DNA sequence: CCGAAGCGTTAAGAAGGTGTAAACGCTCGA
DNA sequence: TCGAGCGTTTACACCTTCTTAACGCTTCGG
């Protein structure tokens, strides 16, 4: 049986959600405030979290952020606002889906189903090259424990190199994949981005070595 | 789960293909136009591409050509035409197989299976001459376990020699292939590059022997 | 024996590719 | 409207690679 954690300050909403969820066979626990929600999450280890964005005190976004620091539990966002920015922010922080109040119970349950099903099949597609790990889903690059701060172009570039880790990738291949379908000729700028990447990768991690006249190679040792 | 990319301008065809593929467990993405198809291919990284030859705008042949500039993803050609010439052209450009519309779903799936199975067993085109292995795709030259560090010219030169391993290659032939399309006359400099190659090949591996007045020969023993 | 032709080897200048920093222009959000 | 972040361009120093030239060696025919 799955366990669900509700974090919402309105008691009425909590009661409604509890009824719907219990009727569906969920075990339910609640928290009326952000800080308590985090404690409950750590203590109860729910299988899914329903999080209201309009929390007093510690806001929903902040709760989600702290939650994501240590767990990947699926989070379904509840909000009366339909501000696109907040929605996007929440999803980028790793929320799994979003429902706008008021919502029908059918819609809620449907989205929960999707999340739960995804949970078992999901594992982020990722590319590993030595200590370097690229999480394609979350657009994250890690070097050991450290989270690299890469621009989109840098990420795409590193992705191409890491996909063929240890082998040469032609400059042509790199340009075609990173700048797919663009008319401008970035063959000059490629060197600049390589330079940036090398700086961010540092001295200890994998190295990007040049094969003069041909292309680049990512050496993961 | 494998990911398939459909590039076809007819929506009906795309829908049909999507149904068939998804029922087989493929994850499907689509593009209705050639240029978009190329972008999708770069972005989505499909495991197989289904490409219609009769595309408006950027034609199917052209799409295949550009695709092959940077990826080896298996491509299955779809076409209403049964023109032998186009078929041959596509296959020579590196298409993996060909289905003529209208086609049965069984036939389509069978060919996809073949392509997918081949994908895992396939290896880069390479030239072998004794202990020397030239990987043309990755621009790598190996002598036993050792990776040779060759300049582009040296690699091209060694490639010509290795292709005709054990046979004489005329100086003329060498120059024509290595310095194809260049105006300068490097017939003098050839000796220098041969010299460099011999040094890098060492004493134990294959030897480049001279046939006075004629050309060179690569002896793989 | 001698000279010429072809080849191997080395060195040095020329050409082109690469690393790096800085400046510019663009987009997007505050 | 402004500023931050990012992509791109530009410029220049540096290094690799290519080419050219020179010289000594071997071979072969006169």
Regarding whether A115 and A62 lie in a shared domain, the answer is yes
Question: pLDDT (tens digit, 9 = 90+) per residue, B150-160?
Answer: 999 999 999 99
B214 touches strand C (CB under 7 A): yes
Residue with tokens 């550009």: B66
> Separation of CA A219 and C1' D22 in angstroms?
41
- Chain B neighbors of A170, CB-CB under 8 A: 70, 139
| Domain end marker among A63, A88, A121 | A121
Regarding whether A101 and A76 lie in a shared domain, the answer is yes
- Residue spans of chain B under pLDDT 50: none
Centre a 10 Å sphere on the Cβ of residue B85 and count the other Cβ atoms it contains: 8
Question: Given a cut of 50, is residue A52 above it in pLDDT?
Answer: yes
Regarding whether A166 and A111 lie in a shared domain, the answer is no
If we measure between CA atoms, which residue out of A183, A174, A177 comes closest to residue A210? A174
Q: Output A111 or A198, whichever has higher pLDDT.
A: A198
> Separation of CA B212 and C1' C3 in angstroms?
18
Regarding whether B163 and B105 lie in a shared domain, the answer is no
Q: Which residue of B has its CA nearest to A178?
A: B42
Question: What does the alpha-carbon distance between residue B38 and residue A176 come to, in Å, rounded to a whole number?
Answer: 9
Q: Which residue of A has its CA nearest to B136?
A: A168
Regarding whether A63 and A11 lie in a shared domain, the answer is yes
- Is residue B57 classed as helix, strand or coil in its secondary structure? coil
Regarding whether A184 and A105 lie in a shared domain, the answer is no
Residue with tokens 């292709």: B163
B198 touches strand C (CB under 7 A): yes
* pLDDT at site A110: 73
pTM exceeds 0.85: no
- Band of residue A142 on the pLDDT scale cut at 50, 70, 90: confident
Residue A180: which of B39, B138, B152 has the nearest Cβ? B39
If we measure between CA atoms, which residue out of B78, B90, B107, B106 comes closest to residue B10? B78
The CATH number of the domain where A168 resides is what? 1.10.10.10
Domain membership of residue A177 as a residue range: 126-219
Question: pLDDT (tens digit, 9 = 90+) per residue, A152-204?
Answer: 888 889 988 988 888 788 888 888 888 876 655 666 788 899 998 998 888 87
* pLDDT at site A122: 47
- Domain total in chain A: 2
| Domain end marker among B92, B121, B150 | B121
> Separation of CA A163 and C1' C15 in angstroms?
34
Q: Identify whether the C-beta of residue B7 lies closer than 8 Å to the C-beta of residue B50.
A: yes
* pLDDT at site A89: 65
Regarding whether A176 and A158 lie in a shared domain, the answer is yes
Regarding whether B163 and B79 lie in a shared domain, the answer is no
Q: Which of residues 192-211 of A touch B (CB under 8 A)?
A: 211
Q: Is B138 on the interface with A (CB under 8 A)?
A: yes
> Separation of CA B177 and C1' D16 in angstroms?
23
Describe the strand order of the beta sheet including A126-129 as a list of residue ranges. A126-129, A132-135, A140-143, A146-148
The whole-number average pLDDT for the span A9-31 is 89
Contact state of A212 with B152 under an 8 Å Cβ cutoff:
yes
Question: What does the alpha-carbon distance between residue B132 and residue B144 come to, in Å, rounded to a whole number?
Answer: 7
| Domain end marker among A66, A97, A121 | A121
Q: Output A107 or A10, whichever has higher pLDDT.
A: A10
Residue A180: which of B38, B138, B151 has the nearest Cβ? B38
The CATH number of the domain where A7 resides is what? 3.40.50.2300
B151 touches strand C (CB under 7 A): no
Q: Is B66 on the interface with A (CB under 8 A)?
A: yes
Q: Is B123 on the interface with A (CB under 8 A)?
A: no
Question: pLDDT (tens digit, 9 = 90+) per residue, B82-134?
Answer: 666 777 777 777 788 888 877 888 888 888 887 877 665 555 567 888 889 99
Regarding whether A139 and A49 lie in a shared domain, the answer is no
Q: Is B3 on the interface with A (CB under 8 A)?
A: no
Regarding whether B176 and B103 lie in a shared domain, the answer is no
End-to-end CA distance of chain A: 45
Regarding whether B137 and B109 lie in a shared domain, the answer is no
- Is residue A172 classed as helix, strand or coil in its secondary structure? helix
Give residues with Cβ within 8 angstroms of B136, minimum separation 6.
Answer: B124, B125, B126, B127, B159
Q: Is B42 on the interface with A (CB under 8 A)?
A: yes
Regarding whether B113 and B25 lie in a shared domain, the answer is yes
Contact state of B42 with A168 under an 8 Å Cβ cutoff:
no
* Angstroms from B69 CA to nearest CA on chain A: 7
């Amino acid at each position: 049986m799955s366990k669900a954690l509700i974090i919402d300050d309105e008691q009425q909403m909590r009661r409604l959600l509890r009824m719907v969820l219990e009727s569906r066979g969920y075990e339910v626990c609640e928290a009326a405030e952000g800080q308590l929600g985090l404690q409950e999450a750590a203590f109860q280890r729910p299988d899914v979290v329903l999080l209201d964005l309009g929390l007093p005190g510690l806001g929903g976004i902040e709760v989600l952020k702290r939650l994501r620091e240590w767990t990947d539990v699926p989070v379904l966002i509840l909000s009366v606002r339909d501000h696109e920015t907040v929605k996007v922010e929440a999803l980028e922080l790793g929320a799994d889906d979003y429902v706008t109040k008021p919502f029908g119970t059918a819609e809620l349950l449907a989205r929960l189903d999707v999340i739960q099903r995804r949970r078992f099949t999901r594992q982020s597609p990722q590319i590993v090259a030595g200590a370097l790990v690229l999480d394609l889903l979350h657009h994250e690059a890690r070097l050991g424990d450290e989270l690299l701060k890469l621009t989109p172009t840098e990420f795409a570039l590193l992705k191409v190199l890491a996909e063929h880790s240890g082998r040469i990738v032609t400059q042509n291949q790199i340009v075609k994949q990173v700048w797919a379908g663009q008319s401008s000729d970035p063959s000059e700028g490629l060197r600049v981005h390589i330079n940036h990447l090398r700086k961010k990768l540092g001295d200890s991690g994998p190295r990007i070595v040049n094969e003069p006249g041909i292309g680049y190679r990512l050496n993961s040792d």
